[in-house]
Amino acid sequence: MTPGRVGETERCAPLDFGKASLARLSDALLGGHDHYEADREAMRRLLAIAPGARAMAKEHRDWLVRVVRFLASNRGIDQFLDLGSGMPTAENTHQVAQRYNPEAKVVYVDNDPLVQVHGRVVLEENDLTHVSGADLTLPEVTLWDPVVTTYLDFTEPIALILCSIVHHIDDFERASRIVRTYVDALAPGSYLLLTHHFDPEEDSARQELARLLENTFQGTGLGSVHRRREQIESFFTGLELLPPGLCHLHEWWPDGPRLAPLSELNFLTLGGVARKP
């Protein structure tokens, strides 16, 4: 297989530029160029409801950068499995990991065909980073995908990344089974990185915003579920959460004092990093 290329046996979703996709919406929010009018329209709808959405997309990216940097430089992790990785943009997982460990191996998994096309271009000459077109919601298939099995060693620690992904799986029991299947496949010393939309469970403007977001995008392929803290914590069952535990993303070891104001969206996402003993 050519380094950085998508395997011929992998499953791809059909191209549909008339319908917004999560990967392309994220690209639009981050100021990228690899999206279409349907994605921009979805972004406009989102910004009309939550003007802080652009800043929150960057908050997610900054959180991921901090965690990957910490694991690659402080914990010696040299394998990363990034599920639902989205469109290549600034400060991708492989760029951060390989900056601190040039031998770090990264496999991205995303069944959006446009993500795969751009992945081929971005990773053309990077023989340590590869793209799988598997469907992450089918972990038994993804874990045996040729790209995953060829380039990652599951007898050694791996950082499993589920950043802004699990809340798009409506059924809680199904989401739990998917996460558990991946975690069970990891060797001791591996890490789970997970962020999830949060239901504050209080009669407040934040909860109203969570409901509005859910209702607006329900049935569009962009919908998500805001779950209670204990439900999100359950994804880490059997793992050792690193301090400061499950928290808002801006609270997880920020690089310095915060200068940008917080929006309501900052309080509707929780993230955590946990080690498998």
Per-residue model confidence as pLDDT tens digits over 114-151: 788 877 777 777 899 999 999 999 999 999 999 999 99
pLDDT in tens, 63-88: 999 999 999 999 999 999 999 988 77
Q: Which residues of 168-196 are buried (b: 16+ CB within 10 A; e: fewer)?
A: bbeeeeebbebbeebbebbeeebbbbbbb
Inter-residue contact 151 to 107 (CB < 8 Å): yes
More confident residue, 103 or 222: 103
- Least Cα distance to 195 among 166, 153, 156, 216 occurs for 166
Position 192 pLDDT exceeds 80: yes
Position 12 pLDDT exceeds 70: no
Name the pTM for this structure.
0.91
Q: In what order do the strands lie in the sheet with 105-109?
A: 129-132, 105-109, 79-83, 159-162, 191-197, 269-275, 240-241
* Per-residue tokens: 73: 């430089």
- Least Cα distance to 170 among 217, 101, 102, 119 occurs for 217
Looking at residues 26-40, what average pLDDT do you find? Answer: 87
pLDDT at 123: 77
**Three-state SS at 198:** strand
Domains identified in the chain and CATH numbers? 22-275 (3.40.50.150)
pLDDT category at 15 given cuts 50, 70, 90 is low
pLDDT at 207: 94
| Cβ count near 260 (within 10 Å) | 11
- Least Cα distance to 228 among 181, 167, 277, 180 occurs for 167
pLDDT at 6: 36
